[in-house]
Amino acid sequence: MSTSAAATLEWLLRPAAREPGIDRKALAGLLVEIARNVGPEVCAEPTGVAPVDPRLEQLRTLLLGREIEILSRLTGVVDDPEQLSAAVAQVLPSALAQAQNDARLGPVLAPTLEKATQSSIRSDPRTLVNILYPLIVPAIRKSIGEAIDQTFQSLNETLKHSLSWRGLRWRWEAWRTGTPFAEVVLRHTLVYQVEHAFLIHHHTGLLIAHVAAPDAASQDPQLVSSMLTAIQDFVRDSFSGDAQQGLDALRLGELRLWSERGPFATLVVVIRGNPPEGLHETLGAVLSRIHEERHQALEAFDGDSSGFADIEAHLAECAALRQQAPRRRGFPWIVLLVALALFAAAGFGAYRWGEHRHLRAIEQGQWADYITRLQTQPGIVITEEGRRDDKFLVAGLRDPLAVDPRQVLRETGIDPARVVSRWVPYQALEPQFVLERLKASLDPPASVTLAVAGSEIVAEGSAPSRWIDRARTAMRMLPAGGPMLDLSRVRNSDEAKLAALREATRSLREAIQAEEIHFNSNEPLPAPGQDAVLDRIAGELKQLASLSSTLHAVPRVSVTGHSDDTGQGTFNLSLSVARAGAVLALLKKRGVDPDLLSVRGAGPLEPLQPGDTEAARSANRRVSFAVGIEDQP
């Protein structure tokens, strides 16, 4: 056919041959022949015919002029390949569309399409992969999954029974019936029974219908169906799953929960035993039948489950599914509940894992907060921080007087056990730290306050000179470049005290120098009634000694004995010495340090009152005191 089509095209495209003109002789013969057919008497011979007659050409143009014109236009199109392609392109789609029903079209196009596809793949295979990916991958996945499940199921059972007594029996059966051994094994081992079928409304989780196998125990199916929905929601939420996906299967021991999801309702069956994978298909078919028949009622379901008797009939079909007569037991609801609980716990675990990542992000935030807070703390310099595995690490310098990083850590809420800290101690030069240090080393008296003023530390108040001296020393020891200590506002409290002490000493000294002890004539011991005077003087001396020691001085008291002018001079001199000695002894007896005292006899040479009256003589018989203060050696 293609050859003849090519020939036609060849003929069509053949350049128009030069017209040789009409064979007039043959034409004449033909006309005579026709005439003879009409009238046999015609016997003219086509002789003497001129070979060329322009009138014939004229006749042809007259008769066929329009056709010749159309033909020449057509030939023009056919002669020009571009025009021809344009013309064919116009009709090609509709031609193909019309030819679709022609069985020959496929085989004709196939080789061309194959070649085109091959060349497309050769130039860039991704194009085709991209086109096919969304179509075939899910199908492949599902099909492979089911095939693998089936294979495993078959393999498992085959292996399990290949060498047992039962296995040998089944081998015999396989050999006898001519079926594959694996098939026989499956037929005998896949013993199951569907015990419950629930149809659950997606949107509300409410039960639309429920059917149980005749002797399966029944718990409240309404509660079970809602809880199943809740668990599905939980799993979906926790794993951010697609809203259209859900749990396919739950399994505990020989009890399985299979779930098939439709557009409005989910079919959940509880199966005891070992169901074949092909049962999924059966259940899926029941579910789609239910949706086909009661599409609108399911969509509009609002909790009223009356009027779903037909659906119950379908579910009863599911609940009747079984292979062999299984051993019947009460439906172990406890087991189902435990399965649900376990599944929930597993879901929860996974959810916790997701949460863990979330927590990690929270922790990261807390850590950043902790580091920022530390960085703003004076006396803390962070040199390194970060996360190592499950621990946080921070290292740097810390003034021992700075805030305790553990305290800051507690406030951020990070578990301290997860934080490794390495702090090297250093001295910060911030004024508040220098201040703290000075306070600790100088131990300022209550009358002095130390405070930070700008970049300096200022001491104010009054202090003893010893403290001021110490503070000056500390001031000189402060590191250069750091804050300085200003002591100019500290008054020396010792100076005022010294002045007061000196004044007290002076008045005491005067008081003592004004004292006198009186004697009777010729007596070396004080006259009666002088004890009180002695007591007073002893007190004053002791006070003077104590005051002087505060001033780092020592009083020197000269005790001078005197006599009147009666009697002999040598006697009077020794009497005056004796009187002074007696007073010294008496004062010593009253607790006065004798080292402070010295005795001297003046005889009658230093009278208090000159004259020879008895009153004058009596006044002159005395012991007097002179007080000098010496600096302590």
Partner 1 sequence: MIPTQQKKVCVLGSFSVGKTSLVRRYVESIFSDTYLTTVGVKIDKKMVDLADRAVNLILWDVAGEDDMASLRLSYLRGTAGYLLVADGTRPATLDVALTLRKRVEADYGPLPFALLVNKHDLTEQWAIRDADLEGLRQEGWWVRPTSARTGEGVEDAFKDLAVRVAR
Range in contact with partner 1 (rule: CB under 8 A) among 188-196, 225-233, 260-268, 452-460: 225-233
**Least distance in Å: CB of 167 to partner 1?**
43
87 belongs to the binding site for partner 1 (CB under 8 A) = no
Amino acid identity, residue 19? E
Pairing of strands 255-261, 516-518: unpaired
In which element (H, E) is residue 576 found? helix 569-589
Tell which one of 75, 150, 162, 222 touches partner 1 (CB under 8 A). Answer: 222
230 belongs to the binding site for partner 1 (CB under 8 A) = yes
* Subset of 464-503 contacting partner 1 (CB under 8 A): none
Residue 168 or 223: the one with the smaller Cβ distance to partner 1 is 223
299 belongs to the binding site for partner 1 (CB under 8 A) = no
395 belongs to the binding site for partner 1 (CB under 8 A) = no
Tell which one of 231, 450, 471, 584 touches partner 1 (CB under 8 A). Answer: 231
For 13-46, give the DSSP string.
HSPPPPP----HHHHHHHHHHHHHHH-TT-----
Asked if residues 420 and 391 have their Cβ atoms less than 8 Å apart, the reply is yes
Tell which one of 184, 199, 207, 553 touches partner 1 (CB under 8 A). Answer: 207
Say what the alpha-carbon torsion angle 623, 628, 632, 633 is, to the nearest 10 degrees. -90
59 belongs to the binding site for partner 1 (CB under 8 A) = no
Tell which one of 299, 304, 404, 503 touches partner 1 (CB under 8 A). Answer: 304
206 belongs to the binding site for partner 1 (CB under 8 A) = yes
Listed residue (98, 99, 97, 77) closest to 88, CA to CA: 77
Residue 200 or 286: the one with the smaller Cβ distance to partner 1 is 200
For 338-370, give the DSSP string.
HHHHHHHHHHHHHHHHHHHHHHHHHHHHHHHHH
330 belongs to the binding site for partner 1 (CB under 8 A) = no
359 belongs to the binding site for partner 1 (CB under 8 A) = no
203 belongs to the binding site for partner 1 (CB under 8 A) = yes
220 belongs to the binding site for partner 1 (CB under 8 A) = yes
201 belongs to the binding site for partner 1 (CB under 8 A) = yes
Asked if residues 87 and 94 have their Cβ atoms less than 8 Å apart, the reply is no
Residue 181 or 348: the one with the smaller Cβ distance to partner 1 is 348
Listed residue (57, 58, 33, 56) closest to 44, CA to CA: 33
Residue 419 three-state SS: strand
Cα of 285 vs its chain's centroid, Å = 47
282 belongs to the binding site for partner 1 (CB under 8 A) = no
360 belongs to the binding site for partner 1 (CB under 8 A) = no
Residue 333 or 426: the one with the smaller Cβ distance to partner 1 is 333
303 belongs to the binding site for partner 1 (CB under 8 A) = yes
Residue 334 or 480: the one with the smaller Cβ distance to partner 1 is 334
Kindly determine how many residues on this chain lie close enough to bind partner 1 according to the rule CB under 8 A.
31
d(CA 78, CA 14): 10
Residue 23 or 310: the one with the smaller Cβ distance to partner 1 is 310
Tell which one of 29, 205, 326, 400 touches partner 1 (CB under 8 A). Answer: 205
Tell which one of 167, 347, 396, 444 touches partner 1 (CB under 8 A). Answer: 347
d(CA 54, CA 476): 144
Tokens of 3: 């050859």
Tell which one of 137, 313, 345, 420 touches partner 1 (CB under 8 A). Answer: 345
Residue 222 or 288: the one with the smaller Cβ distance to partner 1 is 222
Residue 231 or 287: the one with the smaller Cβ distance to partner 1 is 231
Residue 203 or 391: the one with the smaller Cβ distance to partner 1 is 203
Output the CA–CA distances (angstroms, integers) from residue 383 to 380, 399, 415, in the order listed. 10, 14, 22
HSE (CB half, 13 Å, CA atoms) of 508? 23
566: left (phi over 0), alpha (psi -120 to 50) or beta: beta
Residue 153 or 225: the one with the smaller Cβ distance to partner 1 is 225
> C-alpha angle 232/301/318, rounded to 5°?
65
* Subset of 233-272 contacting partner 1 (CB under 8 A): 233-234, 236-237
Range in contact with partner 1 (rule: CB under 8 A) among 130-138, 220-228, 319-327, 612-620: 220-228
Residue 226 or 574: the one with the smaller Cβ distance to partner 1 is 226
**Least distance in Å: CB of 439 to partner 1?**
46
Tell which one of 223, 361, 420, 500 touches partner 1 (CB under 8 A). Answer: 223
**Least distance in Å: CB of 345 to partner 1?**
6
**Least distance in Å: CB of 265 to partner 1?**
12
310 belongs to the binding site for partner 1 (CB under 8 A) = no
272: left (phi over 0), alpha (psi -120 to 50) or beta: beta
Encoded one letter per residue, x for contact with partner 1 by CB under 8 A and - for no contact, window 402-431 reads ------------------------------
Range in contact with partner 1 (rule: CB under 8 A) among 180-188, 251-259, 342-350, 478-486: 342-350
> C-alpha angle 307/311/314, rounded to 5°?
155
Pairing of strands 597-601, 553-561: parallel
Amino acid identity, residue 450? L
Burial 35-65 (b: 16+ CB within 10 A, else e): eeeeeeeeeeeeeeeeeeeeeeeeeeeeeee
d(CA 70, CA 55): 23
Pairing of strands 249-252, 622-631: unpaired
Contact partners, residue 33, CB within 8 Å, separation at least 6: none
Residue 80 or 233: the one with the smaller Cβ distance to partner 1 is 233
Residue 261 three-state SS: strand
Residues within the interface to partner 1 (CB under 8 A) = 201, 203-207, 219-220, 222-224, 226-227, 230-231, 233-234, 236-237, 302-306, 333, 337, 341, 344-345, 347-348
